Chains A and B, each alone.
Chain A
């Protein structure tokens, strides 16, 4: 056994070095809290995934549906070949909307092709494909175009992992509006063996949604989800509509916040104060402590943290939509 310790010890040391887990001891003097006490009412399915439901009090989400089409039509840059310079010139010549270009000698066919591709009413997938292609991912039109989709089909999501790329996902939170209520559902893996089932649940959630909303999800959560599914041999081929609010916050809040961490924006802009919140960096350490001690009380702050992330996401979206409409 000494030989094994020598052979793996160096790896463990390196794995700890540089992570904030370095000097943390996870010995808990209290009685380990079982899962059912930590999350009363949560349901465990046969795969081991624990489902935790909640519906925090949030006012309904309201996106101006009528104005969406006009806003899209007003953006001439969506027509193939028209950049910022041409668009400005065209507006000066009185072409203020895409349909108005229909008779234009140079842009007529491109604009009518575009409108044909979008259809009536505009097909959201086609519209987002155009937006992703020609506009920056921080352009407010990405936010406003959400008005093309049924509110109930928007999926807010957030993942908690053991580290950066390549590490297991142990908690996934999704939120959607049902009627006037915002319903949060969290999938928790009480052991890493349940990760694959958790990922499959997420895959199903995504399949049922028309668009995803996240904070930094394009570079992190979505990538991790795809990577972890591939790890288990379950490739994710879909590329759903995905609006990453980090991109919009960066643009909309420039100069008003020292950085763009969600917690910073909550504090400086949204007026949300998190009490006793677990800093993001501590999340993996707490989960590791739970794995090592079996004490589910380590999980409670993680679950609350992830829930608050989703709530802030909704509040931030409302804030950004207001800014986009006012602009």
Chain B
């Protein structure tokens, strides 16, 4: 079906040679293995004609051998079966044993419930699996607690239920397995919240005598072992070799800039109707709902009739009918925001189009994994936007196709967060001092002094006048949370740093593919009020940051520069914001927002001898350019958004006394990114250097140095100097000398 496609495309009147290059990711043959499983499961597999893949057998054997495991094979490699089989087998062998499944979203838990119910029935088990969360009707709650042996829930709900543990005594005392599916959602500050929550859960389970094993399942990541260790606090066996066998993947790198007369949207619409017109069932992923709808619409006008669009928040029945239509072929193409990336069952399609790089290789390949049936070849088209990360992957196919994935960071050192979870833990069971680390002991003493804990012979006891679980929310980052509401609907919560920057009055705000305009930001009340709108412009705030270094933790000295990491205080002032239409600033508006001061982690690069080959008038522009490129490339190494990092460049930093570039975690108390980048700084610098050096522009462009989020409107930037600096950082001729 895919053969001769390029030739056909070349004969299309609208095609202008946008395929800049193509690549092939070779397929692989399936690798099978056997595992010890009890009769009902063996029979069921035989009935369904399923032969276990090697990675599935590995998970089963690891579980049987009493090990915790993390499985990170690609989408559609049968991960669900890999963890359901050993868990259900354990529940089959011990009639009292129970399991807990944790899902990041209610919808995913509901999907899994259907699979468990089906497997339960097929294997003739009575496990009464049930989801238990805010949507569970009161009338079912007592029955679930009394009879269910598998409970599926989400972290927010679990956080609320832990203090009522005695109602769950049956399940907790016989807890045999904890399954953490879609675990890659638990990264960054939210990840550490979940990590602390899981430690609280394990403490309670231990109290009741349960001895669960943990299975984590995640998209492919670079550091499964360290991630699992951080998240669950125990070692897990990593199973990451995909044995499921894949078809060859043909990849087209589509350069929309080749045809400047047509927008990306309209090119993609033509491509989509071209593919679907040839019977190639295609899924197209976009960043926003507006563009998803636009593409679906204009593809239909182009003569492709059966194109659907899909977004987050669809009702289950809408979703089911879409899934159904895709499976039976009545829907030939679907344009979606990232909502279809995970967890929903649409089977394999023939082709996927990625409109814009979705921010991480992890997501990109989750999306790409939507195309591919068995071992038949499938097509992936990557259409980059004009920004550094997109253009980098566009021009470096090897990095795009390679097996390297981002690292997931779970920062566990937030004292505020730790204090919050300590208070909750002490409200769940008395917290003996012997269980605490030295930092926690210090925090507990602080909580006692504030009248939140009391030290008793049994340990610390929570004594606050309001419930601990009510004052500590899992969304809390810094302790002060801003709630974003549209009408009476809560859209999301955010840290005030973020709120000032992205949700100032007048800002155009993107949330799950929908655009909103901010009407009001009330920092005292902790509220952002937005309304839905479809403006044809976007906004960016104008800010100036100052960074004061508070403490150094580690220094790497190199021939001409020093790389340092430590604690800083960031003072950010807001000057105003601009509205941008078609990449042109149309207006600049003043903003009246207070200074924001926060402490966070940062890494900085100092050039103690100065940068003598750069003239003084180009020094700042060079540092600033290098800073932009480093920030832009950070998501290649660590799963994050470039907006999770802030940067400041100074020709003469007052504390260092030398030219300096500072990159900091853009969240109060830090998010672990600076530390992760410090570890991998050589690779970061090398990528940033390649990006800027290889960009054909001369002065810096949106694909290399220009950042739409720059607080100083990309002024000044000096590309040759930026290349010079990045080269210096990337070359790194001497082995670094670590000084503690």
- The interface of chain A, by Cβ under 8 A from chain B, is 3-12, 14-19, 21, 162-168, 191-193, 195-196, 226-227, 230-233, 235, 284-285, 288, 291-292
**CB-based contact A14/B166 at 8 Å:** no
A192 touches which one: B443, B463, B468 (CB < 8 A)? Answer: B463
* Cα of A168 to Cα of B461 in the assembled complex, Å: 8
Interface check B709, CB cutoff 8 A? no
Residues A4 and B445 in contact in the complex (CB < 8 Å), given A10-B416, A191-B456, A231-B429: yes
**CB-based contact B454/A193 at 8 Å:** yes
| Minimum C-beta distance from B571 to chain A (A) | 16
**CB-based contact B442/A4 at 8 Å:** yes
* Cα of A242 to Cα of B441 in the assembled complex, Å: 42
- The interface of chain B, by Cβ under 8 A from chain A, is 163-166, 169, 207, 415-416, 418-420, 423, 427-430, 442-443, 445-447, 449-452, 454-458, 461-469, 471-472, 478-480
A18 closest partner in B (C-beta): B466
A and B contact pairs by CB, cutoff 8 A, 25 listed: A4-B443, A5-B446, A8-B443, A10-B479, A11-B450, A11-B452, A11-B464, A14-B471, A15-B450, A162-B464, A163-B467, A164-B467, A166-B427, A166-B469, A167-B464, A167-B465, A168-B462, A191-B456, A193-B454, A195-B461, A196-B456, A232-B430, A235-B169, A291-B454, A291-B463
* Cα of A8 to Cα of B419 in the assembled complex, Å: 6
**CB-based contact A167/B415 at 8 Å:** no
* Cα of A21 to Cα of B466 in the assembled complex, Å: 10
Contact partners of A3 in chain B: CB under 8 A: 415
**CB-based contact A7/B418 at 8 Å:** yes
| Minimum C-beta distance from A231 to chain B (A) | 6
Contact partners of A5 in chain B: CB under 8 A: 446
- Closest 10 interchain pairs by CB? A10-B479, A230-B166, A193-B456, A7-B415, A12-B450, A4-B446, A15-B464, A14-B471, A192-B454, A8-B446
B458 touches which one: A9, A21, A167, A196 (CB < 8 A)? Answer: A196
**CB-based contact B466/A233 at 8 Å:** no
Max chain B Cβ within 10 angstroms of own Cβ: one of A6, A9, A15: A15
B473 closest partner in A (C-beta): A14
Contact partners of B169 in chain A: CB under 8 A: 230, 235
Max chain B Cβ within 10 angstroms of own Cβ: one of A17, A168, A284, A292: A168
A7 touches which one: B163, B207, B443 (CB < 8 A)? Answer: B443
| Minimum C-beta distance from A299 to chain B (A) | 16
* Cα of A14 to Cα of B468 in the assembled complex, Å: 10
* Cα of A104 to Cα of B577 in the assembled complex, Å: 86
B423 closest partner in A (C-beta): A11
| Minimum C-beta distance from A159 to chain B (A) | 15
| Minimum C-beta distance from A206 to chain B (A) | 17
**CB-based contact A226/B166 at 8 Å:** yes
* Cα of A163 to Cα of B415 in the assembled complex, Å: 26
Contact partners of B463 in chain A: CB under 8 A: 162, 167-168, 192, 288, 291
Contact partners of A7 in chain B: CB under 8 A: 415-416, 418-419, 443, 446
Contact partners of B465 in chain A: CB under 8 A: 15-16, 19, 21, 162-163, 167, 284-285, 288
**CB-based contact A12/B451 at 8 Å:** yes
* Cα of A230 to Cα of B204 in the assembled complex, Å: 11
Residues A193 and B415 in contact in the complex (CB < 8 Å), given A7-B443, A7-B446: no
* Cα of A8 to Cα of B472 in the assembled complex, Å: 11
B169 closest partner in A (C-beta): A235
**CB-based contact B479/A11 at 8 Å:** yes
B468 closest partner in A (C-beta): A166
